[in-house]
Amino acid sequence: MTRFRLTVEYDGSPFMGWQRQPHGPSVQQAIEEAVHAITRETVTLHGAGRTDAGVHALAMAAHVDIEKPISAFRLADGLNAKLRPLPVAILAAQEVAGDWHARFSCVGRRYIYRIENRRAPLALHAKRAWRVPLVLHADAMDRAARILVGRHDFTTFRSAHCQAESPVKTLDLLRVRRFGTSIEIEAAARSFLHHQVRSMVGCLELVGCGKWTERDLKDALRARDRAALGFNAPPDGLYFAEAVYEEDRRNANSF
């Protein structure tokens, strides 16, 4: 039995999310079926996180155990062949220790949220960004974002369906940058609550268009009440960008 670590890129538009669902297609199901097509083994794929319907990934980490002798290179190529024409790609595959776990070994997760701040409809980025026609002040959004950095009770920014034991999380990074008409919001933490990133982005958008002040955002955080939330940003612009592991940090520091 060999455990493989996979790095997965996908467009979440046609899926009900990462996790296998009884009522629609999922990324997990697509990859598990591709593994079965190659190995004839029924496997369970474990991911570093779970993305909702319509949410994308630049580099989701996952692992799978396979009995059939196969190289990481052949596995990645074979999966990509079986996954066509679905918008899912295995960027990399590598053998890892049997106790390595995509979720439980993960020490950090990073998300990116993309906004297209323009009046014209999205031709190239439809379903891959949130179009906001009102002028957004990215500098004001970035200043407000710093309010949320640190260890807080994020109940206001937590889905009613969140299964986390505690609403207290430590947000390591939340920053907003503008690149022409594009606005990129980057968030990093060890782990996130369900809908936390989209909820934070929705409130920052209110700050950016002048409907909320920094005080309003502080009050929403302190309220610890979902009713104090502005709104959830749509899933279109959200990307799981990176899963961080200790061995990756050690390898990076060795250069």
Q: Are residues 89 and 175 in the same domain?
A: no
Q: Is residue 120 part of a domain?
A: yes
Q: Is residue 251 part of a domain?
A: no
Q: Give 154's Cβ-side CA count (13 Å radius).
A: 29
Give the pLDDT band (50/70/90) at residue 72.
very high
Q: Is residue 52 part of a domain?
A: yes
CA angle 93, 97, 102 (to 5 degrees): 60
Q: Is residue 114 part of a domain?
A: yes
pTM of the model: 0.95
Please say if the pLDDT value at position 248 is more than 50.
yes
Q: What is the model's pLDDT at position 255? A: 47
Per the annotation, the verdict on 52 as an active-site residue is: yes
CATH number at residue 31: 3.30.70.580
Q: What angle, 0 to 180 degrees and rounded to 10, lies between the N-to-C axes of helices 196-208 and 214-223? A: 150
Q: Are residues 89 and 34 in the same domain?
A: yes
Q: What DSSP state is assigned to residue 4? A: E
Residue type present at position 167:
P
Q: Is residue 145 part of a domain?
A: yes
pLDDT digits (tens, 9 = 90+) for 57-66: 999 999 999 9
Choosing from 11, 52, 142, 236, the catalytic residue is: 52
Q: Are residues 216 and 185 in the same domain?
A: yes
Q: Is residue 101 part of a domain?
A: no
Q: Is residue 254 part of a domain?
A: no
